[in-house]
Amino acid sequence: MTTETALSDCPAESSLASLSRVAAAMAATLEPNEVLARGVESLIEATGAVCGEAYLLTESGPELQVLHGCEGACPFKQQLAEMATRAAERGEPVRRRNLIALPITRKGRVHAVYGLSLPADAPAPDGCFLNAVCHLTTLALDHAELMQELERREAQRVRLLRKWLGAQEEERRRVGQALHDEVGGVLTGALLALRLAEKDPQRLEDVRTVLGRALDEVRRLSRELRPAALDDLGLGRALERHLREFERHTGIKTTAAINPPRLNQPAQAALFRIAQEALTNVARHSGAGKVAVRLEPDGEKLVLEISDDGHGFTPASGGDSLGLAGMRERAEQLDGEFSITSSPGAGCTVRVEVPLARVVD
Ligand SMILES: Nc1ncnc2c1ncn2[C@@H]1O[C@H](COP(=O)(O)OP(=O)(O)OP(=O)(O)O)[C@@H](O)[C@H]1O
Ligand SMILES: [Mg+2]
């Protein structure tokens, strides 16, 4: 019995066909306002309405912005707009004779309203169908927003990759040049000194000095390539050493609470690079006098936090620029989360939380 009632409550087959046409029209665009315009267009078609409008609620106040208006001089324009305002306030459909206003709700608030003007002699519209169109619109808007976010992230990933590849190429060029000019030069000198020493063994001391210089140069190059000897010191001590150098170079006072467990190599490298970029940002952009770095377990997570007392900034809502995006990317590669909290005058905190199980050695 229950099944029969449920079945008879279903929209008629023609309504389902209309519904799938409405869905297809809305799914064909990723532009939220265009979703609403297509929604109302296909609603007009499906209901045989004389005209229809899509209104968007403004962020700031109760006014409605007309996204898709009736073409021509519609005698009900004013009345439809008033009903749309009422539907937006109540959060439920409003119907007056042949006019209908349907609110579209998203994340608990009315986001837009469809207004329809049906022919005076039209039969009562299928409420179930209209409800379904409103739900579909909400889904289509969520889908468009998600897809746009995905496209933005993808474009950012490509930019990041290009930047990294460029930086890698530049690093190779610099190291190649240094090997050629510095190490090559010093070793050539050593060769010459060796030839002289073959005739005059007293000059062997010169050879030793020159080879010592070559060794220093090779060590310097390898230090540049590998962050602060992570292999030798481990992340904790490498970070402490980096902080001491940071303080010496920038004059910004540092405090540290660094107690990481034994971490695997990829995690050490990623967390070091994140801290390095966050500190570079502090030095370049913050005007801070102090910076505090924390790296320690907290429950099931390992937390890395870099907080400065500088002038802060408003993180862009549209997405991260490349330095910030790089930090986020590294955190996500460790299945972690990245956040940046800052506002003008209130300093800046970069926080990364990664699951301990993912990073311990
Ligand atoms: N600690 C901070 N204090 C104040 N502003 C900051 C801080 N960190 C970042 N910012 C702001 O955020 C912006 C973006 O930082 P991000 O690291 O992504 O780029 P960048 O440092 O400008 O360039 P790069 O790509 O070389 O890192 C900075 O230009 C700066 O305006
Ligand atoms: Mg930066």
Q: Is 55 helix (H, G, I), strand (E, B) or coil?
A: strand
- Burial code (b: 16+ CB inside 10 Å, e: under 16) for 97-114 equals ebbbbbbbbeeeebbbbb
C-alpha of residue 276 to centroid of ligand 1, in Å: 13
- pLDDT at position 185, please? 84
57-61, 209-213, 307-311, 338-342: least confident range: 57-61
- pLDDT at position 54, please? 92
CA 275 to mean position of chain CA atoms: 18
102 has a pLDDT exceeding 90: yes
111 has a pLDDT exceeding 60: yes
- pLDDT at position 294, please? 98
C-alpha of residue 271 to centroid of ligand 2, in Å: 15
From 156, 252, 313, mutation site for ligand 1 pocket: most ligand atoms within 8 A of C-beta: 313
Question: What is the token pair recorded at 186?
Answer: 């010093």
CA 49 to mean position of chain CA atoms: 42
Q: What's the predicted TM-score (pTM) here?
A: 0.60
In this prediction, residue 95 has a pLDDT band, given cuts at 50, 70 and 90, of: very high
C-alpha of residue 326 to centroid of ligand 1, in Å: 11
Answer whether 308's CB lies under 8 Å from 291's CB. yes
pLDDT tens per residue across span 238-272:
999 999 999 999 999 999 999 999 999 889 989 99
Look up the CATH superfamily of 2-152. Answer: GAF domain (3.30.450.40)
- Taking only Cα atoms into account, the Rg of the chain, rounded to an integer number of angstroms, comes to 33
The residue whose CA has the least distance to atom 9 of ligand 1 is 281
Q: 230-359: which CATH topology?
A: Heat Shock Protein 90 (3.30.565)
Q: Is 313 helix (H, G, I), strand (E, B) or coil?
A: coil
The residue whose CA has the least distance to atom 29 of ligand 1 is 285
Beta bridge partners of 110: 105
Ligand 1 proximity of 360 Cβ (cutoff 6 Å)? no
Question: What is the token pair recorded at 93?
Answer: 């459909």
Comparing CA positions, the residue from 25, 66, 17 lying closest to residue 42 is 25
Burial of 219 (0-12, 13-18, 19+ CB in 10 A): exposed
Could you give the CA distance from residue 138 to residue 105 in angstroms, rounded to a whole number? Answer: 7
Could you give the CA distance from residue 39 to residue 117 in angstroms, rounded to a whole number? Answer: 15
Answer whether 33's CB lies under 8 Å from 57's CB. no
Kindly identify the ligand whose nearest atom is closest to the C-alpha of 166. 1
* Atom number in ligand 1 closest to CA 316: 12
Q: What is the mean pLDDT of the chain?
A: 87
Comparing CA positions, the residue from 76, 71, 96 lying closest to residue 86 is 96
The residue whose CA has the least distance to atom 19 of ligand 1 is 323
- pLDDT at position 27, please? 86
C-alpha of residue 315 to centroid of ligand 1, in Å: 9
C-alpha of residue 323 to centroid of ligand 1, in Å: 7
> Which amino acid is present at 39?
G
CB under 5 Å of ion ligand 2: residues: 281, 323
> Which amino acid is present at 3?
T
Ligand 1 proximity of 324 Cβ (cutoff 6 Å)? yes
Return all residues near 57 (Cβ < 8 A) that are at least 6 apart: 63, 64, 65, 88, 109, 110, 111, 112, 113
C-alpha of residue 202 to centroid of ligand 2, in Å: 53
